[in-house]
A = this chain, B = another copy of it.
Amino acid sequence: MSAPSNDANEPRSVTLLLHCPLRLGIAASLTQFVYKHGGSILYHDQYVDPEIQHYYTRLRWDLSGFSLSDADTAAGLRGLIGFAPDAVWSLHFSDEIPRMAVFVSKDPWCLYDILARSQSGEWAVKVPVVIGNHPDLEPVATRFGIEFRHFPVTKENKDAVETEQLAFLERRRIEFVVLARYMQILSGRFVQAYPHRIINIHHAFLPAFPGARPYHSARARGVKMIGATSHYVTETLDAGPIIEQDVRRVTHRQSVKDLIRMGRDLEKVVLSRAVWSHIRRKIIVHEGRTVVFD
C-alpha cells in the first residue's frame, strides 16, 4: 500500500533534545557543531522559561552529508555540552524506530486508531504487542497481524502480574507504553520502570474530573464542553505532565451516552497527537510539565 507523506520517505536524520539552566552561547555552539561537520539543519526551535531561566531546545539535522559517525556525533556533543554538566539531553537517530506496547481493556476505538496509523505508515513506530487485561480486543490485534497477550489482573495477583508484564516488555524490547483506554492503575514500581515513557489518555479536561466516570460527572455538573487529556503517567493518578488536550462543545441536549460517543473521537485524536509528538521526539518533560515543540 502506498505510504502517505510520512517519516519513512525522509532522509536519515538525528534529533537532539536538550534542556539546562540558561547560559550564553549554547544555541550557537550547537548549530556550529552541526554546520562544521556538514549537517543541514531541518528543524531548530528553542524556548527559554523566563521565570526559572531554563533553556529548552530541539535540533534536528539531515545526516546525508554529515561527516561524523553516530558514535562520534554523540561523543562530540558530549564534549560540547560538557561545560553544561546540568544539561539533560538525548539523541535520536531517525532509523531507530521506537518499539511501543499498547495496553487495552475492552474499548476498541483508540486501539484501532493506533494500529491504523502505525500500519499505514503514518507513524514511524513498531507495535510488537497489544496487552489486554481482558481478551476482548484480541480479534482487533489479530486482524492487524499483531501479537495479543492477555494478562488478567485482579487485586490479588496485581503485583505478580506486573512483574510478569515488565519481564515480558523487556523481552519484547519495548521502549514505551501507550495506555489506550486501559482501565487499570499501574503501580509505582511499574511507572518507575518507564519514566515519562507511559502515555495515558484520560477522558476529561484535566484537572477537571479525574478518576472514574468523568462523562457522568460532566453531565451532572452541567459543563458546556467536554474534553480529553493525554499525559505521561506518574505515580499520582491523572496528575502526570500533560502532553495534549482538546475539547468539544456540548449542550444540555447531550445525554451521558452522547458524551461518551462524542468523547471517543476526542480521546483517539488527543492520544494520537500525544503519541506522535513522543515518537517524533518533540517532548521535553521538566518540573511536572511538558515542552512540546511544533
Contact = CB atoms under 8 A, between A and B. Distances in A.
Interface in A210-240: 221-225, 227
Nearest to A272: B265
Give the interface SS of chain A, mostly helix, strand, loop or mixed.
mixed
B257 A5 contact: yes
Contact of A206 (B35, B42, B206, B208): B208
Contact of A264 (B41, B46, B122, B292): B122
A269 B228 CA distance: 15
A224 B143 CA distance: 35
Counting chain A residues whose Cβ lies within 8 A of the other chain, the interface size class is 35 or more
Interface string A128-146: 0000000011011001100
A166 interface: no
A289 B116 contact: no
Interface of A: 1-2, 4-5, 24-25, 27-28, 31-32, 35, 41-42, 44, 46-51, 56, 106-109, 112-113, 116-117, 120, 122, 136-137, 139-140, 143-144, 205-209, 221-225, 227, 241-247, 249, 251-257, 260-261, 264-265, 269, 272-273, 288-292, 294
